[in-house]
Each structure stands twice: as structure tokens, then as C-alpha cells.
Structure 1
Amino acid sequence: MPLLQVSIVEGRSPELKERLIHDLTATVVETLAVKPEAVRVLIQELPRTHWGSAGQSMAQRDKDNP
């Protein structure tokens, strides 16, 4: 049973997350030749203060680049 764990910065719409789940599932079904019912997708949304890149949180980067 494939399990995909995806971490993203919070703020995306429910529709986009549904599309992500659908598209990831379709890719795994095609690639691994499993049934869609066997695929699990977990989305973890993180606050911008908990996501860092290039030495800064995303929240700080937002402040520095309005």
C-alpha cells in the first residue's frame, strides 16, 4: 500500500489539495500498477513561520519582499 506524505506551506484552497491528491494517486496507480484504493496521500500543512529556505522563514521572506 503506497503512502505519500506531502508537506506544503499552509494557505492553499481545498480544491487545490483535492487536485493534488487526485493527481498524485493517478501517478502512483500508473507507475506502480496498483489500484487507486491502495494509495494513501497525507498532506501536512505548515505555517509560514515553520518553513525555512535560504536561512529565513517564509514569513520573514514575505516581510522582506512585500
Structure 2
Amino acid sequence: MPTLRVELFEGRTPQQKAELAKELTEACVRVLGGSPDAVDILFFDVAKQDWSTGGVMWSDKGK
């Protein structure tokens, strides 16, 4: 079964991550089959100053 890597801007609560983990796990089992125990999800919190889209740092957007 899969290992999912989820990269998010920092600031999500543990409850939000737990809810997302539950939903992603259910989707994997529904689509791929197998057991929920075989789905691993890794969360990585990224600061906006460490993420760029289109050459613009997210920490600079809206300035």
C-alpha cells in the first residue's frame, strides 16, 4: 500500500491533520483496496518563506 507525503504550509492543527489522514486513508482503501493499516501518511510543515511558486516566495505574496 502507499506512503503519502503531504506538504502543507505550517499552521494546520493536529485535528486538521488527523481528519485529513482519515480521509486520505479511506480514499486509498476504497480505490486501491487493502487494509487501512497499510497506508502511511507523512506530514511536512513548510514555512511560507521556504516555498516558492512561479518564482515568487509565498512569504512575499500580498506585500
Fold similarity call, TM over 0.5: yes
Alignment partners' CA distance in 2, 1:7 and 1:17: 11
Q: CA deviation at 1:57?
A: 1.2
Q: What stretches of structure 2 of length at least 5 have no aligned partner? A: none
- Please, what TM-score do these two structures have when normalized by structure 2? 0.90
Q: Say yes or no: does 1:38 pair with 2:38.
A: yes
Q: What stretches of structure 1 of length at least 5 have no aligned partner? A: none
User: Which residues in structure 2 correspond to 1:1-66 (within 5 Å)?
Assistant: 1-62=1-62, 64=63
Aligned-pair identity in percent equals 32
Alignment partners' CA distance in 2, 1:57 and 1:8: 15
Which protein has the bigger helix share? 1
**Ranges of 4+ aligned residues in structure 1 off by more than 4 Å:** none
Alignment partners' CA distance in 2, 1:10 and 1:44: 8
User: How many pairs are equivalent?
Assistant: 63
Alignment partners' CA distance in 2, 1:43 and 1:6: 5
Alignment partners' CA distance in 1, 2:57 and 2:20: 24
- Please, what TM-score do these two structures have when normalized by structure 1? 0.87
